[in-house]
Chain A
Amino acid sequence: MVATITAFAFEVAPAIAILPLASFVIALFAGKYLPKRGALAGIAATGGSLLLSLWVALTVAGGATYNEEIYSLVTTPNTFDLHFGLLLDPLSALMLVIVSLVSFLVHLFSLGYMNDEGEAGLPRYYAGLGLFSFSMLAFVFADNLFMSFVFFELVGLCSWLLIGHWYREDAPPSAAKKAFLVTRFGDYFFLVGVVAIFATFGTTVFAGPESFPTLAEEALAGSGGAGGGAGGLSTFGFGPGAWFTILGFLVLGGVIGKSAQFPLHTWLPDAMEGPTPVSALIHAATMVAAGVYLVARMYGFYALSPTTLAVIAFVGGFTALFAASMAVVKRDIKQVLAYSTISQYGYMMLGLGAGGYVAAVFHLMTHAFFKALLFLGAGAVIIAMHHRQDMWEMGGLKERLPIPYYAFLSGSLALAGIFPFAGFWSKDEILFEALVHGIGGSPLLLGGYLMGLTAVVFTGFYTFRMVLLTFHGEPRTHTARNPHDLGWSVKTPLAVLGILAATAGFVNMVPVGTILGLERIELLHGWLDHGISGLTVEHYGELTHDFAGYTTGALAGSEVLTVLLSAGISLALALAGAGLAWMLYSGPNPEAHTERLGDVRTLLMNNYYQDEYQVWIAETFGTGVARLSDRFDQSIVDGAVNGVSEVSLLSGDRIRRIQTGIVSNYATLLTLGLVVLLLTVGLAGGWFL
């Protein structure tokens, strides 16, 4: 142990997850007897989690880390060890704070969004929130991949519960099913991956000398990357490099599902059927973040495989662009946010794939704040609009809802990546990493970079289209003219997050640091660079360099120039997008300009027919094959069974006809039988010789 004095924070760290679990139990069993139907318990629990998380973070800041097993599921002397444990290092401590903060704020917001609106099923709702927080927090501090998988799955369950909260309608249960199924499809690969990692390394712990990234690293280093047995590890007939790549891809399946990357992103827009605070929770801090967090968590493993990294980067970049383009035409405010979420997580993936570990974590953090903010802001608007979500029915809410407006604006600026809001810093850093590694010898990354860059334009455009349509101009409906009042529980979270969205970027001002030569201004970089050896930024840098061949290039040989250029381009593009939106939608009665896109708009409105083809695949290869199997089963397999019985009975009926009732026939048959018997046995015994 690093410091026994601080160990107490770590001793109570499990409570970070346990508290929400307790609130889940309370809300579930006692919720309907409680004053706020379980909300208070949830708020208290997540508040407690937040405090504890901060304490843990402070402790970690003091240089201490923690990596201990706390509960063993089964005792297995000679084989794989299945346990739950705590891994508290800078990354997880940071994430704990983010998650518990967002969760706390979402609980608070729910008081206004759910309780005050007189929704039914509140205990169930708060139980779901509690379970969700519990799962995510436990996922975050998991010390091994098995535990990650466990809580990864639980997160999926919670999303199902909460997305389908309004189960009496048709759409939410369907959306919930879709969310669970699509992510389950991804989790399938994750599951194979976890099992395969167990089978390969015998362990799935993240950190320490016996952790699987370390073992993999040693195996690759030891074998020189060329085939053969990798240091006693079973690689199932593949070379270690190839096998580790496969493992990486398998786990990545889960990531793509949960983080809604192409092509498994289709569940996420549908998931907007859930209550808006839930959307905030899912998109900002819990479920969707889980995927990216997982990659960051086991980055030491991914860093070993250039192929995996490239794919991550490429998928990320593509998703960023792809989703952003769809967000352009949406009418529903939550839909716009949904696609923006996909897009933003695409950036994070791009960052991870491009070797920008810090950048990705940075964006994960800033995005958590501003996306939570945007969703809660949207939630506030929706409350005000009496649960209407079509932006074309809004307009002019700026004057009537000032606090939500400014908070929302802060979030939007961050989302669009406008200096100096949080999103600018983090997104810029991702693009920067992609660029420098791209030109530094991994040209594939440049593709991701370009897509990411293009997406910046779209992001700027749709963000401001959303802001303008919602808050600016003249109110377009009666409801928009007379919005619902908002309570403190709605406004407080908005205010907190608005401030964070504006300022969170300052923790890692890379361009500033580079230009001014102030390494210390990159606080986050420094934060992530200490802690358990093997889980540090520096180590990851070495790994990506050694195994993936990532080297830092620079435009015209100047690092400063590159930084400036990169930041400048992305800012310019963001402003261009935003400006375009301003041009088109700033008037008091903006027109539906996207109509002019014609077929393209139809294509985008229909999300590139992604749902259609996935449904088609599911129906053809799922239901279709199932129907065929069923018919096969009924007719052939069961038919054979019934056929046997029918043939038996039929032959039985024939056989009994021998008994004709005429005794002479009996005598004949009897004699015949005797003759046959005589001949058979006689021939066998050779009597006639």
Chain B
Amino acid sequence: MAVGSSVLPTPVLQTAPPVGDWVALAPVLLLGLTALVLFVIDSIDPDDASGGGALAGTAAVGTLLALVAAIALLVAGIGQGQGGALRLYGDQLVVDGMALFFTVIFTSVATLVIVASYDYLRDRVYQAEYYVLMLLATTGMALMASAGSLATVFISLELASLPSYALVAFLKDNRGSVEAGIKYFLIGALSSAIFAYGISLVYGATGQLGLEAIARSLSGGTQLVGILGVGVLMVAGGFAFKTASVPFHFWAPEAYEGAPAPVSAFLSSASKAAGFAVAIRVFAVAFSPQAVVASVDWTLAFWLLAAVTMTLGNFAAATQDKVKRMLAYSSVGHAGYVLIGLAALNSGQNGLVLGASMIHLLVYGFMNTGAFLFIALAEYWEVGRTFEDYNGLGTQAPIACVAMSVFMFSLAGLPIGGGFMSKYFILVGAVGTGHFLLAALLLINSALSLYYYSRVVRSLWFEEPADSLDIEGYPFGLYGAVVGAAVVTFLLLPGIFLVSDAAISAASALFV
């Protein structure tokens, strides 16, 4: 930042990031800059419905570059290791392994979604706005992952949320899309109010907003357990909204169903991951001191959230008629699985349980995005949205259907994709920390999920196609994104070691 003026005393310079730290923020900056470039393109040539290629291409290149940057930083070991986190802007931003890991998730999802959107949005207006909003939301997510203070947490969370509201309502003349948008927005606004109030109470209990400062302030215990407790839970509520956890999940089925499918993909994968990223950081860094946990047992809260979330999500998903809504509920269910990581914190296996959650989010980023993008493909083909409408699709579009089957089985936790590994890692974590009840719930829900995921597979492959089933064309972008996601999902089964080490060490590094 250009604050290094000669007028200023030297200590100020220390807070300004040196050049190396610029590099650390490269993914975020790349995302933001791409959004700006898109603005420029749009202002040069507005209202161009046919210029989708350039826009989507630019956006995709931007996210891809950000992805590459994040991976490069991860590989280079920037900010990683115990105590190696890079603190920028006076602890307002932190770049460490976890932030980069999650940035990889966001940018991967964004890339896939943008590639798919190229076909989905063909001949539509407001494409530039669409990509800009998506990039800005991605930027917000990346910032969430590296937020170092409740202030940046809150603001970056809003940066991720506000474009999302608009994206959900993107199909302005579609009642479903608009209704989804208003519901998402209202629940979101309520949640952010609760979140803000929670932050104010945490500030009230500690006098600090910086995460590590809060931890320091709390390390000696506090008299204001009640205020802190309410604050912590309200903050948790804010994250629960973002991650679509019960009882802050109500927007999710509607939003995912009503939104354009690529946006659903984006929200259910990346946005959820972002919520978890920030939740993990806040709770692991700020609220972890033993003195807090004794009186404000937020692991109990997450325990309850996890239990209810996965149960409700899976049970509701089991009886859906529409595939997209089923996926929406299943997404709620998966939030419940990941919450186990938070519920099992401070039981002696922090690196393992959090790492497992992070791995699951990464795999989920691919498999769930892929699944929603397959829905996008179906919407593109206009085959209908119920399970029955998908009957026999396997005969018409075998490759996409194989990909979809990979997603479904991987989501269900069968060894056809990385979802198998990550889900069982979570289960390992739950068992290893003695959360047998959660493990049992996970078991029940997993069985149920197998049932409804396999319904999709059954429709695709086992049922006779309706006579009217006829698909037109094989859109390159959508196909590319779906198949790409499937390949990565599959490869993450044997290749899970590529990410598991990074995730677990990043998670371990959060704890001093």
Contacts and interface: CB of A to CB of B under 8 A. Distances in A.
Contacts of A687: 225-226, 229-230, 295
B329 A656 contact: yes
B36 interface: no
B318 A649 contact: yes
B247 A652 contact: no
Interface residues of A, number: 29
Contact of B315 (A651, A678, A680, A688): A651
A648 interface: yes
Given A645-B451, A663-B183, A680 B251 contact: no
Interface in B228-253: 229-230, 233-234, 237, 246-248, 250-251, 253
A673 interface: yes
Contacts of B213: none
B226 A648 contact: no
B318 A685 contact: no
B320 interface: yes
A653 interface: yes
Interface string B266-308: 0000000000000000000000000000111110110011000
B318 A670 contact: no
A654 to B, nearest CB: 8
A680 B304 contact: yes
Given A655-B312, A674-B234, A681-B300, A669 B229 contact: no
A516 interface: no
Best-buried of B234, B253, B315 by chain A (most CB within 10 Å): B315
B33 interface: no
Contact of A674 (B237, B294, B329): B237
- Interface size class on chain B is 35 or more
Contact of B297 (A645, A667, A674, A685): A685
Interface stretch (B16-24, B186-194, B420-428, B479-487): B186-194
B319 A677 contact: no
B448 interface: yes
Contacts of A661: 254
B431 interface: no
A682 B301 contact: no
B182 interface: yes
B190 A670 contact: yes
Interface string B372-406: 00000000000000000000000000000000000
B318 A648 contact: yes
A686 B295 contact: yes
Given A670-B190, A677-B233, A684 B319 contact: no
B65 interface: no
A666 interface: yes
B300 A684 contact: yes
Contact of A666 (B187, B237, B300, B329): B187
B239 to A, nearest CB: 13
B298 A681 contact: yes
Given A649-B319, A652-B318, A677-B304, A663 B297 contact: no
Q: Please provide the 10 A-B residue pairs with the shortest distance between their CB atoms, ordered closest to farther.
A: A673-B247, A666-B250, A687-B226, A656-B316, A652-B315, A652-B318, A652-B319, A653-B319, A685-B295, A655-B315
A670 B240 CA distance: 11
A670 B308 CA distance: 13
Contacts of B298: 681
Contacts of A606: none
Nearest to B247: A673
A663 B186 contact: yes
A659 interface: yes
22 contacts: A651-B315, A652-B319, A656-B320, A658-B312, A661-B254, A666-B183, A666-B187, A666-B251, A667-B187, A670-B187, A673-B247, A674-B233, A677-B237, A677-B305, A678-B229, A678-B230, A680-B300, A680-B304, A681-B233, A681-B300, A682-B230, A686-B225
A518 interface: no
A672 interface: yes
Contacts of B319: 649, 652-653, 656
Contacts of A685: 225, 229, 294-297
Given A670-B250, A677-B305, A681-B296, 12 more contacts: A652-B315, A652-B448, A666-B250, A666-B251, A669-B250, A670-B187, A673-B246, A677-B233, A681-B297, A682-B226, A682-B230, A685-B296
Q: Is the interface of A mostly helix, strand, loop or mixed?
A: helix
B226 A688 contact: yes
B461 to A, nearest CB: 21
A41 B305 CA distance: 82
A645 B305 CA distance: 24
A672 B305 CA distance: 14
B442 to A, nearest CB: 15
B301 A677 contact: yes
Interface string A631-655: 0000000000000010011011101
Nearest to B298: A681
Contacts of B316: 652, 655-656, 658-659
Interface in A562-594: none
Nearest to B245: A673
Nearest to B186: A663
A674 B238 CA distance: 11
Contacts of B320: 656
A385 B237 CA distance: 100
A671 to B, nearest CB: 8
B345 to A, nearest CB: 15
B293 to A, nearest CB: 9
B315 A648 contact: yes
A648 B316 CA distance: 10
A661 B248 CA distance: 15
B300 A648 contact: no
A663 B258 CA distance: 14
A688 B229 CA distance: 11
A659 B251 CA distance: 9
Contacts of A686: 225, 295
Interface string B72-85: 00000000000000
A678 B233 contact: yes
Contacts of B304: 677, 680
